[in-house]
Structure 1
Amino acid sequence: MTEEEVADPHKSELPDRLQVTSHTSGSIHVLTPTGEIDHHTGDALRQALDAISTPRPRVVVDLHQVTFMDSSGINILIAAHRALTDAGGRLRLARPTAPVLRTLTIVGIDTVINCHTTLPEALTD
């Protein structure tokens, strides 16, 4: 067994942190989370959404790299939708993976927050 194959007994059992990258497309903030959105990792997405402080913020969350989302992720999206709407802005979702789309549909979020199959559609909505 090589040194790389030996398990690190000090490694945390918590899931890897969710990575969230951001860029702007025109005046629209695009957030791209990568990984799982759950109770342990959701703060990264929440903080990225909270950091947007422009007047009438327009935000697209591109979900094409999210492999799993539980109710914590749903709650983050609902809170962001409400906050952005109250600020005169909007939230759109783009390119959810099949497991994430299933969660969004079961809960009915896709009827509250516009959800698009492509990023360009979400950017022009």
Structure 2
Amino acid sequence: MTNLPADWPYLLVQVVQRPGRAVSVTGHGEVDMTTVHAFSHTLSTVLRQERPLHIDVNLAEVTFMDSSGINALMACRAEAEPTGCRITISHPRPMVHRVLTVTGVNQLFGL
């Protein structure tokens, strides 16, 4: 394993089943071009395997999100729409909330 700088972007994505065919997906770290694959792959896998009615994307522990994260959320929304799955975002930190608001994505995800 290589030694990465302490400030190197990381992302841990946690998935928790909720009652009523709902799933909570919680990110921990940064969602940017270096970590977005894990984020989008997790969301897509949850949609395909669990077939939930609702996915809540909890961003309370996401410290940074760039346009690649926004694109991943939009792709997930597009993939979920034909299945009837509702995607919401909850608890974004102020900086992430600002990115979501400036791009207009906040309204699409129930913020």
2:37 to 23, 36, 43: 43
Larger Rg: 1
- C-alpha RMSD over aligned residues: 1.6
Q: Which has the higher contact order (CA 8 A, sep 6+)?
A: 2
Percentage identity across paired residues of the two chains: 29
Structure 1, unmatched stretches of 5+, are 1-9, 116-125
Instruction: Give, as a single letter, the amino acid of the residue that structure 1 aligns with 2:76.
Output: A
Q: Do structure 1's residue 100 and structure 2's residue 99 form an aligned pair? A: no
What TM-score do the two structures reach when normalised by structure 1? Answer: 0.78
Question: Which shows bigger deviation, 76-85 or 52-61?
Answer: 52-61
Are the equivalent residues in 1 in contact too, given 2:15–2:23 (CA < 8 A)? yes
Residue 107 of structure 1, CA deviation = 0.4
Number of corresponding residues: 106
What TM-score do the two structures reach when normalised by structure 2? Answer: 0.87
Q: How do residues 51-62 of structure 1 correspond to structure 2 at under 5 angstroms?
A: 51-52=45-46, 53=48, 54-55=50-51, 57-62=53-58
2:15 to 9, 22, 25: 22
Q: How do residues 1-125 of structure 1 correspond to structure 2 at under 5 angstroms?
A: 11-12=3-4, 15-26=8-19, 27-52=21-46, 53=48, 54-55=50-51, 57-115=53-111
